Amino acid sequence: MSDKKATLTYDGKTIELDSLTGTENETGLDITKLRAETGLITLDPAYGNTGSCTSDITFIDGGKGILRYRGYAIEELCEKSDFLETAFLVLYGHLPNSEEKETFKTGVNDAAGMPSDIIGHLNAFPKDAPPMATLSSLISVLAAHNTDDLGVAYEGESFTKPLYTIMAQVLELAAGQYRVNIGKTPNTYNPELSYAANFMHLMFSEPGQPYEVLPAVEKAMDLFLILHADHEQNCSTSTVRIVGSSQSNLFSSVSAGIGALWGPLHGGANCEVIKMLNSIYNDGIAPSDFVAKAKDKSTGVKLMGFGHRVYKNFDPRAKVLKVQVDNVLEALNIDDPLMGIAKELEEMARSDSYFVDRNLYPNVDFYSGILLKALNIPIDMFTVLFAIGRIPGWIANYRELHTQGQRIGRPRQIYTGSALRDYVDLENR
């Protein structure tokens, strides 16, 4: 709490509101007693000005383009860390020592091996089912197979068991579904490989022909996952917190987060960017014409991968990714015309007053699709990769919510419908 207070006068009555200041001096008014003292609520659809919690996990300064997990700059983590280490950091608040790092890795490795019955579930979905639909369902299915792990926990084995299960088996479920859909048998998790390399192996190894994960591919996938590990109270993380606040289990909370991430305005944007770049390329649309269309609201077209609720300068993840995509394309000797189109669109938008005035910059999804495409990931699985990366962040927020002992989440509303009216019989309507 800070010493500074705000006063609010309404209808002749004045009350004092406490304020609180975070580590980086962002300040909020504490309105938790507002309704009890005045009968008022605050109205903030889409929560643009509402802090739903205090959190120690991730700091974003959207004006300066800063993203830090537990105080560590995302750029430094991308350079020096790896995904499992970053996951531990996000979950527990400190970089693991070597013993903690090993225990965490072993925990994830030992939890691999999805229940054999799940193969039946993989086979039951239509072969063209959207992978985000199947992933969300399959994480719920894990609840059905792990009924001893449905309690609320934030420490000890009761927490780590479902945590490790989700982290290991999400790779097997996502890649297994892909392989079943194309008529192949799911591969087995390989504890000798890194988390990122395991995903590539689970996707692309063939019987007697292990997929060779090139160092550039492994690094790119690892970095992609690190960049997505957490992003404070966005749509999907808020969903996870709200579901978790009802004391629902970790599986169902994560499954709900996957549903929220799926939308094209959130994680689904990485697929939409590639679809947009493909159509510009295939239909021979001039990037300038596309930009003009995106500026004209009557078309309903947006420049996908641009804009962000929080970042109003640049998205630091997009900066890292842009460099990484160039590196990967070069290492794999790929000349992807979509990269040229993307750069051209970015250049145009950044010198166009429509985008400049509205602070619209490339977000994380603008370049990530080109990276995943270079790694041979099918387009409709791009958002699945985002979900896999975001799992530590969702689980860290679930854990934090319970360590804070937060009450069940329950926003209020201002009712604007009919006043009381009499029921009308069918024949009189």
Select the residue interacting with ligand ACO from 168, 220, 258, 360 (CB under 6 A): 360
d(CA 69, CA 60) in angstroms, rounded, equals 9
Select the residue interacting with ligand ACO from 267, 287, 369, 393 (CB under 6 A): 267
The side-by-side arrangement of strands in the sheet containing 13-21 is 5-10, 13-21, 27-29
Q: E strand or H helix at 261, and its extent?
A: helix 250-262
Select the residue interacting with ligand ACO from 175, 223, 225, 304 (CB under 6 A): 304
Helix (H, G, I), strand (E, B), or coil: what is residue 168? helix
**Residue 266 touches ligand ACO, criterion: CB under 6 A:** yes
Which residues are 6's β-sheet partners?
Answer: 17
Of the candidates 405, 50, 389, the one whose C-alpha atom is nearest the C-alpha of residue 247 is: 405
Of the candidates 241, 93, 228, the one whose C-alpha atom is nearest the C-alpha of residue 170 is: 228
**Residue 325 touches ligand ACO, criterion: CB under 6 A:** no
Question: In angstroms, what is the minimal distance from the CB of 317 to ligand ACO?
Answer: 9
Question: How many other C-beta atoms lie within 10 A of the C-beta of residue 54?
Answer: 11
Q: Give all strands (DSSP E) within 70-195, no chain letters.
A: 72-73
Question: In angstroms, what is the minimal distance from the CB of 412 to ligand ACO?
Answer: 22
Binding piece for ligand ACO, criterion CB under 6 A, among 21-29, 189-197, 358-366, 392-400: 358-366
**Residue 302 touches ligand ACO, criterion: CB under 6 A:** yes
d(CA 362, CA 313) in angstroms, rounded, equals 10
User: Could you tell me which residues come within 8 angstroms of residue 88 by beta carbon, excluding any fewer than 6 positions away?
Assistant: 95, 96, 100, 101, 104
Residue 422 annotated to the active site: no
**Residue 362 touches ligand ACO, criterion: CB under 6 A:** no
Question: In angstroms, what is the minimal distance from the CB of 218 to ligand ACO?
Answer: 23
Burial call 206-224: b when 16+ CB within 10 Å, e when fewer: eeeeebebeebbbbbbbbb
Select the residue interacting with ligand ACO from 121, 308, 322, 390 (CB under 6 A): 308
**Residue 265 touches ligand ACO, criterion: CB under 6 A:** yes
- Of 103 and 278, which CB lies nearer to ligand ACO in the complex structure? 278
Which residues are 166's β-sheet partners?
Answer: none
d(CA 291, CA 76) in angstroms, rounded, equals 34
Please check whether residue 370 is in contact with residue 336, taking contact to mean a CB–CB distance below 8 angstroms. Answer: yes
Residue 228 annotated to the active site: no
**Residue 322 touches ligand ACO, criterion: CB under 6 A:** no
**Residue 316 touches ligand ACO, criterion: CB under 6 A:** no
User: Could you tell me which residues come within 8 angstroms of residue 268 by beta carbon, excluding any fewer than 6 positions away?
Assistant: 132, 261, 262, 383
Question: In angstroms, what is the minimal distance from the CB of 266 to ligand ACO?
Answer: 4
Binding piece for ligand ACO, criterion CB under 6 A, among 149-157, 177-185, 322-330, 356-364: 356-364
- Of 189 and 386, which CB lies nearer to ligand ACO in the complex structure? 386
**Residue 293 touches ligand ACO, criterion: CB under 6 A:** no
Please check whether residue 187 is in contact with residue 209, taking contact to mean a CB–CB distance below 8 angstroms. Answer: no
- Of 222 and 365, which CB lies nearer to ligand ACO in the complex structure? 365
Question: In angstroms, what is the minimal distance from the CB of 386 to ligand ACO?
Answer: 7
d(CA 337, CA 339) in angstroms, rounded, equals 5
**Residue 358 touches ligand ACO, criterion: CB under 6 A:** yes
**Residue 118 touches ligand ACO, criterion: CB under 6 A:** no
**Residue 363 touches ligand ACO, criterion: CB under 6 A:** yes
Select the residue interacting with ligand ACO from 84, 303, 388, 401 (CB under 6 A): 303
Which one of the listed residues 149, 308, 315, 336 is annotated catalytic?
308
Task: Give the N- to C-terminal CA distance of the chain in Å, as an integer.
Answer: 57
- Of 30 and 232, which CB lies nearer to ligand ACO in the complex structure? 232
Question: In angstroms, what is the minimal distance from the CB of 154 to ligand ACO?
Answer: 26
**Residue 153 touches ligand ACO, criterion: CB under 6 A:** no
**Residue 393 touches ligand ACO, criterion: CB under 6 A:** no
d(CA 372, CA 125) in angstroms, rounded, equals 24
Question: How many other C-beta atoms lie within 10 A of the C-beta of residue 194?
Answer: 19
Please check whether residue 135 is in contact with residue 387, taking contact to mean a CB–CB distance below 8 angstroms. Answer: yes
Catalytic residues: 308, 365
Which residues make up the interface to ligand ACO (CB under 6 A)?
Answer: 265-267, 269, 294, 302-309, 358, 360, 363-365
